[in-house]
Structure 1
Amino acid sequence: MSKLATQINALGQFCGRRDLPELSQAALQQTYQLKQADVFVFFGGSIVGGVATLAQAIHAQVARHYVIVGGYGHTTAALIKSAQTHYPTIKFDTSSEAQIFAQILQAEYGLQVDFLETNSTNCGNNITNLLTLLTANQIKFNSLILCQDATMQLRMTAALRKYVAPSVKVINYAAYAATVNDQLTFDHPLPGMWSLDKYVSLLLGEISRLTDDHNGYGPAGKNFIAHVAVPATLQTAAAQLQQQFTTRSADPRFAGK
């Protein structure tokens, strides 16, 4: 495989972490000695194709409660356009990402989640609003599975770890797993998948945020997330990819207040 494709895939695998080999009670039992997690959380920053993973989770009964989290943030405009393209018969409530995914889940799979969080605008208040919702509904938890767009998955769990006790099991299961081939195309493109340039731009933005220095989001920087150790090999790969791709900057319109 070409060096470029290898570097992109390395960043994608790091950011789009999956702590389970599959979404099943058997995998949960084998990996975490759990029959079910207390809560499965799907985040609206995902591409529309990620809804299949949410449906899979519900069918597999991997959690006791299911939540979709997402208000209106930097990915929402793209989600609306993608949802309307792939599901033209659905009349979408475009006020929040959570509403959009709930409508797709109902229309395509006949499924519903227990709760929607519709006010958050960024990764940080995705988490704080989620925790507020769980508290308000008296949902106690010792384990959560978080499912976000693969580019943002690791940062989402790092954000949650900042707020919960170390004893809480925080399980990653990215909404999709993308691989790029030597032709710099996706091996198995999903509905609504980012263009390659956008995908790499998002990954580069994540490496910058996850790096725990004065520019990052960790304790040594903005202190938005728990510490994440980014391997030196990935730092090097990101630096080299930045010579050919742009890095997504934070959008101040959706910053926390």
Structure 2
Amino acid sequence: MLLKDKICVITGAASSHSIGRATAILLAENGAKIAVLDVHGGVVDAAAALAEQYPASGCMALQCDITSQEECEAARDAVIARFGRVDALIHSAGIMKPAKYNEISPAEYELVMGVNLRGTFNIVTAFATTMAAQKSGSIVNVASVAAQRGGGLFGGAHYAASKGGVLSLTRTLARELGSANVRVNAICPSLIATDFVSEAMSADRLDELSTAIPLGRPGRPEEVAGACMFLASDLSTYMTGATLDVNGGIHIH
């Protein structure tokens, strides 16, 4: 199995149809020991379901608000106390608020930037410290095609800007952590059929947006999970500072 006995932490895994949950399932199927993290209490049920389906995963739940540096460090400490080390962090937690630039309130701007950018900094640096000390590790940040093409599908200017910041942060940390044998990469999905998307728009609107995608359909969470597993695994040991596009061809560059 590709990740046998690797210790992997996955954020944003509470929702049943999310990139985080799909990634947790795929990693567990491939032998990883996993911890799932989310701000929502549903992460406890998610961990219980994963542990029942994949007993060897030893899945643990971490309820954590990533906008809090202290909570991120506490989550890291809990993983180390349980498993002794951490081999991969797949960070997919985030928030999206569709709005035109002149409709974004200061409160909404702070919320989106706080979760998506400051939250990424908090959770990544917490685990990067441990990985640097053990001289190994892989960090995967889930950004968005919105960061590359300036929005245009779903989400507002604040969302695109926050995910652009995630890409810059990823590249900077890749440079800083390379000498410690810690890799930092990013994934840019496009329109993915998650719970959030299905709840935020009608099926007709989803079909309309899909006409702009060369593959003609939204992506599935498990299709993004496959890219996450590749970057977390030893198949990608000479990749750092890279961005993988999982976008159905909506942005070819």
Q: Is TM-score (shorter-chain normalized) higher than 0.5? A: no
| TM-score calculated relative to the size of structure 2 | 0.42
| TM-score calculated relative to the size of structure 1 | 0.41
Which structure carries more helix by proportion? 2
Which structure carries more strand by proportion? 2
Higher relative contact order (CA 8 A, sep 6+): 1
